[in-house]
């Protein structure tokens, strides 16, 4: 029986959602972003710091004799940070560091709850804009995982 509950990609997505929700000032972080379900929700929100998760690439490497494959899985943490004046870059840097600390600091729990191993972060793309005197920084931080798939319900 194929169930989304057993799907490693879905498990990692949900685990990343859980981890991002722990980024609060009460938990010792510098920022407290709104964790959104999508870019559209983030775009329309009023909070200064907004983040969301997008599913990136998924690469299946060759099967071995036991019919297992190594799967490389990428998620992208997107952010919109708005502010007045030069502080928006510092706000963006603080949020990016909080996201990296939260994911890196929870890598053991992520592995235990999903079976996927945190590989690391990839190149973070950043853009800046000013709309009606409000500065905005957008960034996309790829996060990589890997796991061994044996077929069946864990795909």
Interval 61-89: pLDDT, tens: 876 656 778 899 999 999 999 987 668 99
CA distances (Å), origin 41, targets 2, 12, 34, 102, 125: 30, 21, 10, 22, 20
Average confidence score pLDDT of the chain:
90
Token pair in block for residue 38: 């999508």
- Residue among 122, 103, 126 nearest 114 (CA): 103
* Fold (topology level) of 4-154: STM4215-like (3.30.2000)
DSSP secondary-structure letter at 26? G
The pTM score is: 0.89
Map tokens 């071995």 to a residue: 64
User: How many residues are listed for the chain in this entry?
Assistant: 155
For residue 21, pLDDT beyond 90: yes
> Hey, where are the domains in the chain?
4-154
pLDDT of residue 154: 52
User: What would the pLDDT profile of 96-142 be if each residue is shown by its tens digit?
Assistant: 999 999 999 999 999 999 999 999 999 999 998 887 778 899 999 99
Which single residue is written with the structure tokens 């909080």? Answer: 98
Which tokens in the block code for residue 18? Answer: 């859980």
In the chain, the percentage of residues whose pLDDT exceeds 90 is 74
CA distance 103 to 20: 8
């Amino acid at each position: 029986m194929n169930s989304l509950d057993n799907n490693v990609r879905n498990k990692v997505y949900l685990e990343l959602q859980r981890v991002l929700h722990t980024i609060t000032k009460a938990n010792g972080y510098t920022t407290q972003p709104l964790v959104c379900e999508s870019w559209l929700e983030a775009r329309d929100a009023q909070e200064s710091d907004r983040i969301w998760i997008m599913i990136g690439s998924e690469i299946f490497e060759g099967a071995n004799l036991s019919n297992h494959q190594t799967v490389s899985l990428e998620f992208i943490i997107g952010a919109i940070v708005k502010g007045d004046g030069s502080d928006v870059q510092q706000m963006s840097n603080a949020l990016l560091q909080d996201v990296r600390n939260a994911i890196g600091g929870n890598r053991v729990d992520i592995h235990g709850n999903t079976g996927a191993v945190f590989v690391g972060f990839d190149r973070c793309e950043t853009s800046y804009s000013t709309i009606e005197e409000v500065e905005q920084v957008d960034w996309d931080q790829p996060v990589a995982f890997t796991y061994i798939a044996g077929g069946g319900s864990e795909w």
